[in-house]
Amino acid sequence: MRAFLALLLCLGLASAQPAPEVTRVRDVIYQKRDGFVLTMDVFQPVKPNGAAIIKLVSGGWNSNHSGIGDGGWPKYGYTTFVVVHGSQPRFHIDEIVTDVQRAVRVARAYAGTYGFAPDKMGVTGSSAGGHLSLMLALTSKPGDPKAADGFGRIGSEVQAVACFYPPTDFISWINENDGLNGVGPLAARKPAFGPKIETPEGMLAMGKALSPINHISKSQPPIYIVQGDNDVLVHHSQATRFQAKAAAAGATCEVLIREGAGHGGWREMGEDGQRMLEWFDLHLLGKQPAKPFTNGVSKLPSTNPTKK
């Protein structure tokens, strides 16, 4: 009898536990390349808000499953696809761009399953993940109705971007054309670009093709960038020059410069993440923020500036 009562008590306690707010689906395959399987994890909120976020796990164009986290987006109702891509130098950046485009197509195919509208998809990432976010926004295309692969018939477009400190211009890293003369990733991460950059002509062609700044257009989705002005890995002019060119083209692009901040790790990053949430809420859900966006460059201090 005591054992039976104990069992009832345990069952009662178990049923009293709150249901999980997020359901995680692991290792959804989105691409098979050269014997490798590329996957993403899906984090689905109990109450989806009708939009989705693609979160790219990438640093130095390297990616691994230990870096998977939902970024807090499901807490606010966003179905979140956390994408792990093939890492350089085995996979080159142009191939990685193609693969993350494929990830968006696959995610969009499951819009009905996971409760979001296929035309309400944002993308986010940091550093190389920010670069890939911009490449998704600026170079993706509608699906090809004649594609033999069903996913190829689905578009890889995204409708909004919010990212941290992305490389935007490999050719002019800090000064004009210095990327062609030993400055920046074309030199420091040469294997990531593949053998095509072994010649001056190839370096110029690949550097241009993989620089988001060269793909800016009036029709691009709205882009929000947060950048530290004491970043020794990605110079802050990468963000400000991108914004200036986007604004000149008539596109929506805003940059926040954190004064004194380096390549991540500043105390206000959580606050900046909340501002990114407001950006997605505005452009994917139509929710107006309490503080309007300016479509320009603004500056705020960091309370823990990075030491050089």
Torsion-angle region of residue 7: left (phi > 0), alpha (psi -120 to 50) or beta? alpha
Query: Predicted confidence band at 21 (pLDDT cuts at 50, 70, 90)?
Result: confident
- Measure the CA–CA gap between 305 and 288, rounded to whole angstroms: 31
DSSP string of 254-278? EEEEEET--SS--TTHHHHHHHHHH
- Measure the CA–CA gap between 215 and 233, rounded to whole angstroms: 22
Q: What angle do CA 185, 163, 117 make, to 5 degrees?
A: 130
Tokens of 69: 């986290």
- Measure the CA–CA gap between 250 and 269, rounded to whole angstroms: 28
Which of 6-15, 27-36, 92-101 has the lowest average pLDDT?
Answer: 6-15
pLDDT score of 16 more than 80 = no
Is 196 in contact with 207 (CB distance < 8 Å)?
no
- Measure the CA–CA gap between 122 and 139, rounded to whole angstroms: 15
Q: How confident is the model at residue 289, as a pLDDT?
A: 97
pLDDT score of 6 more than 80 = no
Q: For residue 77, what is the DSSP state?
A: T
Mean pLDDT of 13-28: 71
For the stretch 269-292, pLDDT in tens is 999 999 999 999 999 999 999 999
- Mean pLDDT (the chain) is 93
Amino acid at position 63, single letter:
S
Longest pairwise C-alpha distance within the chain:
84
Torsion sign, CA atoms 280, 94, 256, 247: negative
Q: For residue 40, what is the DSSP state?
A: E
Most confident among 18-27, 34-43, 234-243 (mean pLDDT) = 234-243
* Strand, helix or coil for residue 189: coil
Mean pLDDT of 26-48: 94
Tokens of 35: 């014997």
- Which residues are paired to 162 by β-bridges? 224
Torsion sign, CA atoms 213, 214, 216, 221: negative
* Strand, helix or coil for residue 211: coil
Q: How confident is the model at residue 305, as a pLDDT?
A: 84
Q: How confident is the model at residue 67, as a pLDDT?
A: 87
Site of tokens 């309490």: 290
pLDDT score of 170 more than 80 = yes
Site of tokens 């300016």: 294
Mean pLDDT of 39-62: 97
Query: Predicted confidence band at 308 (pLDDT cuts at 50, 70, 90)?
Result: low
For the stretch 203-232, pLDDT in tens is 999 999 999 999 999 999 999 999 999 999
Domains and CATH numbers, the chain: 20-158 (3.40.50.1820), 163-169+211-308 (3.40.50.1820)
Strands annotated E in the chain: 22-33, 36-45, 50-57, 79-84, 116-124, 160-164, 223-228, 253-259, 297-301
Site of tokens 């944002």: 122
Site of tokens 């920046």: 184
- The torsion angles phi and psi of 206, rounded to 5 degrees, stand at -70, -40
Helices 93-109/128-139 angle, 10° precision: 70
pLDDT score of 18 more than 60 = no
Query: Predicted confidence band at 304 (pLDDT cuts at 50, 70, 90)?
Result: confident
* pTM reported for the whole predicted model: 0.93
Is 42 in contact with 29 (CB distance < 8 Å)?
no
Q: Is the pLDDT higher at 19 or at 105?
A: 105
pLDDT score of 197 more than 70 = yes
- Measure the CA–CA gap between 297 and 279, rounded to whole angstroms: 15
- Measure the CA–CA gap between 252 and 110, rounded to whole angstroms: 28
